Amino acid sequence: MWPGFDPDTKKELDHIRRMVRLQRQTPTREWPLICVDIEDRIGLLVVREWPDGSVTAYVGHRSEP
């Protein structure tokens, strides 16, 4: 065994750190793209661009009128 984390674990921890850092920022742009049906729930696929140039996507809840 070697000292330190497994490279895959370290990569996952770096990703978590980056996502936590983004929670405290406001996206520079946001695009609601399409409605998606996941497990009989309707959601909206949203893409966000952040100040550092990174792009994330998530499925948000779509409220019915």
Phi, psi of 10 (to 5 degrees): -60, -40
Examine residue 50 and state whether it is found in any structural domain, yes or no: yes
Query: Residue 54's domain spans which residues?
Result: 27-65
Looking at the structure of the chain, the number of domains it has is: 1
Examine residue 10 and state whether it is found in any structural domain, yes or no: no
Examine residue 64 and state whether it is found in any structural domain, yes or no: yes
Residue 43 to residue 61: CA distance in whole angstroms: 5
- Cβ-in-10-Å burial (0-12, 13-18, 19+) of 44 comes to middle
What pLDDT is attached to residue 64? 55
What pLDDT is attached to residue 7? 84
What pLDDT is attached to residue 2? 62
Q: Is the pLDDT of residue 9 over 70?
A: yes
Examine residue 15 and state whether it is found in any structural domain, yes or no: no
